[in-house]
Every structure is written in C-alpha cells, then in structure tokens.
Amino acid sequence: MQFSTDRSGRLFTSMLGLMTSLWLCGAATTVMAAEPDWPAGTYKYITIDQDVREALEEFGRNVGLPVQVSDRVQGRLNHGMPVGTAKEFLEWICNRYGLVWFYDGTVLHVAAEGEVRTEMVKLPAEDARVMRTRLDRLQMSDPRFPIRFLEEENIMSVSGPPAYVGAVKNALGLMSGPATSHVARDGESMKRSAAQVRVFRGRSAEAESVPVNSRQ
C-alpha cells in the first residue's frame, strides 16, 4: 500500500512538472514574440559604399527576416562597420542614421525618427481597462514606445513609428478614422481638443500642433 501511494505521488509530481514546463515554454514564446530570433555569433558585413535601404534589405535576407524599410530612410554606408551581433549591427545603423525599428512577430519594420508620432485614440465607452488588459495579454508593450490610457475619458495615447501604432490599433480592433483617432489633449490638463493634435517628431521629441484634418 505504501508502494502505491509513493508511486502515485511520483506520478503526480511528474505530471505537475510537465505541465509547469509546458506553461513556461508557452509564456516564454509569448514574451519573446516582439523580439526577432537573432542568429547566434558575429554578424559579418562588409561594404564600401551602399545605400542604407539596400543594406537593411540585405540584412533581412542574411538573417532570415522580412524587412520593410520606409521610403524616408536615407543615407549611405561606408567602411568602418562595427563588429558585433546582428542586433548590434541593426542598432548601430539606426543610431547613426536616425532610424527606429519595430518587429511585429513576422516583419522587421524600419522607419526614420521623423516618422515617430503620438496618436490619440478615442475608445468605445468604458473600454479603456479592457483594452489595457488585452495589450498586456498580447505582449504589445515596448519600453521604447509608450502606451498610456486615460480611463476617465476612454482615451489611449500610443507613441511610435507608423507600423507600431498600426499594430497596436489592429490588436485592439480599432479602425483608423476621424471617429476614433486623432483626439487631442491639452497638455497637463488632459482636456480634449477638437481642433488640434500634438505630434512628437524625431529624437529630440519636439512637439508641434497640427490641424486634425491636415495631411502629414
């Protein structure tokens, strides 16, 4: 009888350990979804004179990632490339040429810093808390691109390159348009304004006011 009890205990412990391992693997996959599976080792790339856009597209082919480069990405690479990992190579290019990157789980998006914006989105009534929970579950948060909620007014503020802003809105099932987006707030008072939206551009995060209906 003691043998049966011990055997059952060991079986239960093994099953519990297996379930825990599977849960941890699933959690790790979800958490790492926003970061590409970078190849191990040093990324070696030699160039004498090449367009930055072409170098980024070739980078994607070399590491096995689809890359979408904005038309506003400009510049030329020359000699003196750093020696490091693939991620360090990408970040070196971004730092040198004023670029930002975002990985949506499938495609690596690269945009110019001047394309980074803050968009105000009006949420359906009493949905701010639900939206926040959904983003947490989907692991959409990125420390480089803040997302803030004003639950009292059901407004979400999302900052980042166009691909990131679009991914957040798509994850929440929000359609882009005057009825749901470009809702502005008046500085610290957080009051809505029907006329203007605050847009933050570039590395220095300089702000300018632009009409809601204007084209950027």
Structural tokens at position 84: 């490091």
Q: Do domains 49-113 and 116-211 have the same CATH topology?
A: no
pLDDT score at 131? 86
Domain boundaries, the chain: 49-113, 116-211
Domain topology for 116-211 = Ribosomal Protein S8; Chain: A, domain 1 (3.30.1370)
Q: Three-state SS for 159?
A: strand
- Cα gap 169→148, rounded to integer Å: 13
pLDDT score at 150? 87
pLDDT score at 158? 93
Terminal CA-CA length for the chain: 78
Crossing angle (nearest 10°) for helices 128-138 and 162-171? 110
pLDDT score at 175? 56
**Architecture of the CATH domain 49-113:** 3-Layer(bab) Sandwich (3.55)
Q: pLDDT 10s digit of each residue in the chain, 216 long? A: 443 445 445 444 444 443 333 333 333 223 223 689 999 899 888 777 889 999 999 999 999 999 999 999 999 988 777 789 999 999 999 999 999 999 998 999 999 999 999 999 888 876 788 888 888 888 888 888 989 988 888 889 999 999 999 999 998 888 554 434 443 333 333 333 333 333 333 343 343 444 434 444
pLDDT score at 211? 42
- Cα gap 188→181, rounded to integer Å: 20
pLDDT score at 190? 34
Using an 8 Å Cβ cutoff, are 117 and 200 in contact? yes
